[in-house]
Amino acid sequence: MDKRKLGTQGLEVSAIGLGCMGLTAVYGPGPSEAEAIEVLAKAVDLGVTFFDTAEIYGRLTNEVIVGKGLKPFRGKVAIATKFGFDLADAMAAGRPRGVNSRPENIRAVADASLQRLGIDVIDLFYQHRVDPSVPIEDVAGTVGELVKAGKVRYFGMSEAGADTVRRAHAVFPVSALQSEYSLWTRDPEGEVLPTLRELGVGFVPYSPLGRGFLTGAVNASTLGDGDFRRFMPRFQGDALAKNLGLVETLTQLARQKGHTPAQLALAWLLHQGPDIVPIPGTTKVSRLQENVGAAAIRLSADDLAAIEAAVPETAVEGQRYDQTGLAMVNL
């Protein structure tokens, strides 16, 4: 698989990474540890070198599985993890809610993540959500200290607004911003992406398949009681019914071109710029192979226009998060 650079500090990864959140129960029951490790190994075999986890995923268990699965390949892969949620609050509430980017917490999370992952250095350390109570300059400075100490290689941010990224970057270079971006979530195109390109910061779209929706495999009957998507307005009631029509249009277009809707959605993202590295997640080897196949698809200007017409942003019904989630993004 082709490689892409994230930032100008030296981080180079596969054009498509693997989001590992779903390897522990988030969208309903997760796979067994053995199945998760099989997916990780197959990803490496297919050329994936970029893996994304976080302390909060699986309530501290996700990093452990990722560390076990990638241990045989440590010299070949880059592992990203994250700090910034109030872990005690999340454990009590059952979902991320409060934030904590105090310097002492950043340092503590780094040490704990290193231990859970079983590695000597975190390749990319993201602030998971901006903490309004802690100046971003203090956050950037603390991560910079971790880099100098050899515990972290590169600094990243997630769901931060353009001005916040600029302020952080002035203190310590930001290599990548991770935010939701896909055919049905186009928010970063306004201010964020132009700012990243001005500063030389890479962009990592999470949920590049609309939390599985753009695969065509999600409907009301597939969302179990433990599925995190039930909190999201786009997956509820009339909004879900309307959005299913958009996916059907995308599916028909993909069929005409000999691809799956997921492949077409990922290929569209890759064509938005060479500084973009999407991280679709999956628990199935067959889906992993399908996603990786998108890296080889070449789209013309007419193809891109047809894809955007199939899923126009203005036609998407419902917000991507509930009010609790929206309050934490683009700060």
Residue 54 belongs to some domain of the structure: yes
Helix (H, G, I), strand (E, B) or coil at 202: strand
Residue 309 belongs to some domain of the structure: yes
**Number of domains, the chain:** 1
For 141, the domain range is 3-326
Q: Return the beta strands (E) in the chain as ranges.
A: 3-6, 11-14, 18-19, 50-52, 78-83, 122-127, 152-158, 174-180, 202-206
Residue 269 belongs to some domain of the structure: yes
Residue 331 belongs to some domain of the structure: no
Write the CATH number for 109: 3.20.20.100
Note down pLDDT in tens along the chain; length 331 residues.
999 999 999 999 999 999 999 998 666 677 899 999 999 999 999 999 999 999 999 888 999 999 999 999 999 999 999 999 998 776 655 666 789 999 999 999 999 999 999 999 999 999 999 999 999 999 999 999 999 999 999 999 999 999 999 999 999 999 999 999 999 999 999 999 999 999 999 999 999 999 888 998 887 777 777 677 877 889 888 888 888 888 999 999 999 999 999 999 999 999 999 999 999 999 999 999 999 999 999 999 999 999 999 999 888 899 998 888 888 899 9
Residue 257 belongs to some domain of the structure: yes
pTM: 0.94
Residue 292 contacts by C-beta under 8 Å, 6 or more apart in sequence?
A: 1, 16, 43, 46, 47, 48
Q: Which residues are catalytic?
A: 57
Residue 169 belongs to some domain of the structure: yes
- The C-alpha atoms of residue 101 and residue 89 are separated, in whole angstroms, by 14
